[in-house]
């Protein structure tokens, strides 16, 4: 807890700096010879790219995780995922709890920022529960994976793969050890691998607050507006997404599969853009219409206070509700019979505009430095980085250094949120001392 | 005026239906043998595409305007441009004025909708002035063009070209008669053609209200907030756009040009995406980063109440001001020391979201029907249609029929504005009888 007390910075600045330090340290470790299977070491730039991808739970890679890194390197990646995923602020609190130190107000505010919670009450309790819940789910999934993969490989390796992928998928980190950038494609119609992976991804993506509320549901028998919105938008996106992917890919990547395979693959590719980063069909082989559709899903992301990047499902819901209000000529923005405070629409707008801005600037730069790559693939990798999703059309390992740096910065921005970053970098809030007269402006 | 009085429809529905009827009639005329230079006639679908492009002052074409159509066909196109550009509502009012009929309240409301004006006062006066102003500018430009082109072609043809292109460029219609889809590329470093064309495009794109105010400036010596915003955003986009295009294209399309040519070409290609549709370099030969950048400019468009599509520069200004307000933690959205009414941000958001939605849906469909075309080019043509810009990467004449229909619908949507269309199609506004309790939603 001392580290926290030392800081006089604003919570956003603290978060940004903390993440950056973990990434630079992780990059240093991953660049050393012991972390690589051939003992050759790795360029610091590429090692930092990997560390950023792991810490920001993305999954974009410039080297083959399964083949290039030694077991030690892979464990470092796994730890960076767990630290970046459950969140380094959460970790700091847990340490403080273990050491029985009191959680100060300042620390609570930082946590509030990290978990994107409205009120500070119960944050500490929430963190304890989320930690237990996460470990339980990861352990259960690791056991199921181990049992399945023991059929394909030695038990020891199966157990290692089980733990690594349970952690990677629950944190929606997208890293895998199968080699040759295959991700889960060998298991495209395997029900157990598909269902366990999708369950991990969805549970990890709905966000800690929703997780905690679902754990309480049997007692309380009611869900908050927030949880209702996250669950309903997530469910809608998964079902709608699977239907669109099924239709667009029926005669393409789904063609060689059985009906079960077709349905599982449509569902999996609809679930993964939420923020996961694993894939069961070759993303680079998808039609460009499908790739564009997945770009949209990745841009939205999952729930706030989760491991997701993107603008988040609640932001989407607010925007859609706002448009509906305007078209219907109503006053209040209403979701599930609750009206939203006036400033909510401005926050949703700001996050979306900043997100669009980041994607545009990065896409422009990478389109310039890597002119030989098709535009749709550059846009795909950029949004995959911003949404901390991690699925790839296959161009990331072949990008220029400038493009690698841009994607690393994009993952970082996506993980922390562009608004948090804006507050951290520029954000002196100004007091408004007087009101200007109202002006008329014709819009649209 | 009788036509107007007959209608009991809402103004948006009336506008939409009126435009549609003009397009269908224009398409019929353009499909007849007399309209084509070989006397072969044209498929109705392609003729309607041309009529839509002309009436919605876009400029995307599926046949070569200069070669395929007879002079009669070209004059029909010119009339559709003038009707659709200055606006068929304006025309209706002028007819009523000429016939000395009184303008009814209902008609004024329709005009208000058409010109996107806040108050109805002065609309009739405004229209008269705008008409005179437009004709004066078009005539002056026609004379200048004629003098220039008389050096390259017989005087009669030069005069015909002068009139056609003055009307086409002032209405930002993008149609040209130079043949082989060359647009103004033969005149890439011709100062007179460049400067007159850019002046026409900019004056036509700032919108009628701004035009009228500028005409009054010598008397009144002050500009409204609206005019200040339109002029400053337009100027910023032109200068910034030219700089970006200059940098990105320096070693590409600009390479063979002199310094004068480089600067003129950068400026022209920065001015044209506002909504014009003429071009002096081959758009298909631009780098994909430049094409993407121009897509963004086209999406923004020009001033409200102009011939532009897109979201309009005032919408952009409102969004940017909103983001600034949020980041600075302020209460009011302030532009040029005037605060905007709270509902303005919701309108700006709605227009932008609907615009993004239209572009996404059309791009998805055309990516599916025309899979062989690169994604960036499909996105380019879609946004060019939505922004009623009309510059093309060259794929439009080779698109499938479904894609042609989709682009025609997109031009129509872009010209009328997605919000007007939403009101026309769905828009029963609902009265809000009670307020829901406020709900908490975590955003972003
Ligand atoms: K991920
Ligand atoms: K145009």
Which pLDDT belongs to residue B343? 77
Partner residue opposite A443 with nearest CB, options B289, B315, B444: B315
**Per residue in B86-122, pLDDT tens?**
765 565 555 555 554 555 555 556 555 555 555 555 6
- Put simply, whether A118 touches B (Cβ < 8 Å) is yes
Per-residue pLDDT, averaged over A165-191, amounts to: 90
Partner residue opposite B432 with nearest CB, options A319, A330, A435: A330
Supply angle C-alpha A92, A93, A98, rounded to 5.
Answer: 100
Which pLDDT belongs to residue A213? 77
- A338-339 and B334-335: which strand pairing? unpaired
Q: What would you report as the CA-atom Rg of chain A, rounded to the nearest whole angstrom?
A: 22
* Per-domain residue ranges of chain A: 2-423
| CA-based nearest distance A373→chain B, Å | 10
- Put simply, whether A384 touches B (Cβ < 8 Å) is no
**Per residue in A66-115, pLDDT tens?**
899 999 999 999 999 988 887 655 655 555 555 545 555 555 555 555 55
Supply angle C-alpha B344, B346, B347, rounded to 5.
Answer: 65
Per-residue pLDDT, averaged over B157-168, amounts to: 94
> Residues B174, B268: contact at Cβ < 8 Å?
no
Q: What is the DSSP string of B324-351?
A: HHHHTT-SS-EETTEEPPHHHHHHHHHH
Answer yes or no: do B332 and A427 touch at CB < 8 A.
no
Tell which phi-psi region holds residue A183, choosing left (phi > 0), alpha (psi between -120 and 50) or beta: left
Q: How is residue A249 written in tokens?
A: 């890919």
| Beta-carbon count within 10 A of A191 CB | 11
Which pLDDT belongs to residue B76? 94
Distance (Å, whole) CA B191 – CA B238: 17
Name the average pLDDT for chain B.
85
| pLDDT tier at A332, thresholds 50, 70, 90 | confident
**Per residue in B66-85, pLDDT tens?**
899 999 999 999 999 988 88
Is A197 exposed, middle or buried, given 0-12, 13-18 or 19+ CB atoms closer than 10 A?
Answer: buried
- Put simply, whether B350 touches A (Cβ < 8 Å) is yes
Nearest to A114, CA basis, from A133, A89, A140: A89
> Residues B377, B294: contact at Cβ < 8 Å?
no
B427 CA from centroid of ligand 2 (Å): 28
**Per residue in A147-162, pLDDT tens?**
999 999 999 999 999 9
Which pLDDT belongs to residue B107? 56
Which pLDDT belongs to residue B115? 54
B3 CA from centroid of ligand 2 (Å): 28
In this model, does residue B431 exceed pLDDT 80? no
ipTM of the complex: 0.88
Q: Which residues contact A119 (CB under 8 A, 6 or more apart)?
A: none
The sign of the torsion formed by the CA atoms of A131, A132, A135, A140 equals: negative
Task: Provide, as residue numbers in chain B, all residues whose Cβ is less than 8 Å from the Cβ of A438.
Answer: 338-341
Of A420-424, B342-346, B372-376, B436-440, highest mean pLDDT: B372-376
Partner residue opposite A444 with nearest CB, options B292, B339, B351: B351
Kind and range of the H or E run holding A338 = strand A338-339
Per-residue pLDDT, averaged over A250-270, amounts to: 94
Q: How is residue B439 written in tokens?
A: 């709900």
Task: Provide, as residue numbers in chain B, all residues whose Cβ is less than 8 Å from the Cβ of A322.
Answer: 346, 349-350, 353
- Put simply, whether A222 touches B (Cβ < 8 Å) is no
Nearest to A417, CA basis, from B316, B327, B441: B327
Q: How is residue B406 written in tokens?
A: 């989709």
**Per residue in B21-63, pLDDT tens?**
999 999 999 999 999 999 898 999 999 999 999 998 898 999 9
What's the Cα-to-Cα distance from A80 to each of A26, A323, B137, rounded to whole Å? 7, 40, 66
Which pLDDT belongs to residue B10? 60
Answer yes or no: do B225 and A317 touch at CB < 8 A.
no
Of the listed ranges A89-103, A211-225, B287-301, the least confidently predicted one is: A89-103
**Per residue in B364-382, pLDDT tens?**
999 999 999 999 999 999 9
Task: Provide, as residue numbers in chain B, all residues whose Cβ is less than 8 Å from the Cβ of A207.
Answer: 442
Residue of A297, A300, A369, A439 to mutate, testing the B interface (most B Cβ within 10 Å of its Cβ)? A439
**Per residue in B227-253, pLDDT tens?**
889 999 999 999 999 999 999 999 999
Which pLDDT belongs to residue A171? 87
Which pLDDT belongs to residue B127? 72
């Amino acid at each position: 807890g001392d580290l926290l007390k030392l800081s006089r910075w604003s919570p956003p600045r603290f978060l940004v700096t903390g993440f950056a330090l973990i990434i630079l340290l992780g990059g240093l470790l991953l660049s050393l010879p012991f972390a690589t299977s051939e003992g050759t070491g790795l360029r610091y730039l590429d090692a930092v790219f990997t560390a950023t991808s792991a810490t920001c739970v993305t999954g974009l890679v410039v080297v083959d995780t399964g083949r290039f890194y030694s077991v030690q390197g892979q464990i470092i990646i796994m730890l960076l995922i767990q630290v970046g995923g459950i969140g380094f602020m959460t970790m700091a609190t847990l340490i403080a709890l273990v050491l029985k130190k009191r959680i100060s107000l300042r620390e609570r505010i930082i946590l509030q920022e990290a978990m994107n919670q409205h009120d500070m009450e119960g944050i500490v309790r929430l963190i304890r529960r989320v930690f237990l819940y996460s470990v339980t789910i990861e352990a259960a999934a690791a056991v199921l994976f181990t049992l399945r993969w023991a059929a394909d490989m030695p038990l020891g390796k199966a157990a290692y793969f089980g733990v690594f992928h349970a952690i990677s998928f629950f944190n929606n980190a997208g890293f895998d050890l199968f080699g040759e950038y295959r991700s889960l494609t060998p298991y495209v119609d395997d029900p157990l691998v598909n269902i366990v992976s999708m369950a991990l991804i969805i549970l990890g993506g709905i966000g800690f607050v929703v997780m905690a509320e679902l754990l309480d549901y049997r007692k309380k028998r009611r869900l908050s507006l927030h949880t209702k919105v996250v669950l309903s938008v997530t469910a809608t996106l998964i079902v709608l997404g699977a239907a669109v992917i099924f239709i667009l890919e029926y005669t393409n990547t789904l063609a060689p599969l059985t009906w079960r395979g077709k349905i599982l693959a449509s569902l999996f590719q609809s679930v993964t853009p939420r923020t996961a980063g694993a894939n069961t069909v070759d993303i680079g082989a998808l039609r460009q219409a499908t790739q564009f559709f997945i770009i949209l899903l990745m841009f939205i992301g999952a729930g706030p206070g989760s491991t997701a990047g993107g603008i988040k499902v609640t932001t989407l819901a607010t925007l859609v509700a706002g448009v509906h209000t305007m078209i219907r000529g109503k006053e209040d923005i209403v979701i599930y019979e609750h009206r939203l405070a006036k400033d909510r629409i401005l926050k949703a707008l700001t996050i979306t505009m900043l997100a669009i801005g980041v994607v545009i600037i990065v896409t422009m730069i990478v389109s310039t430095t890597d002119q030989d790559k098709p535009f749709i693939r550059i846009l795909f990798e950029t949004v995959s980085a911003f949404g901390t999703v991690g699925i790839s059309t296959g161009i990331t390992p072949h990008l220029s250094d400038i493009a690698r740096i841009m994607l690393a910065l994009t993952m970082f921005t996506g993980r922390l949120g562009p608004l948090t970053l804006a507050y951290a970098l520029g954000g002196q809030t100004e007091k408004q001392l007087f009101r200007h007269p109202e002006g008329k402006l014709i819009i649209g």
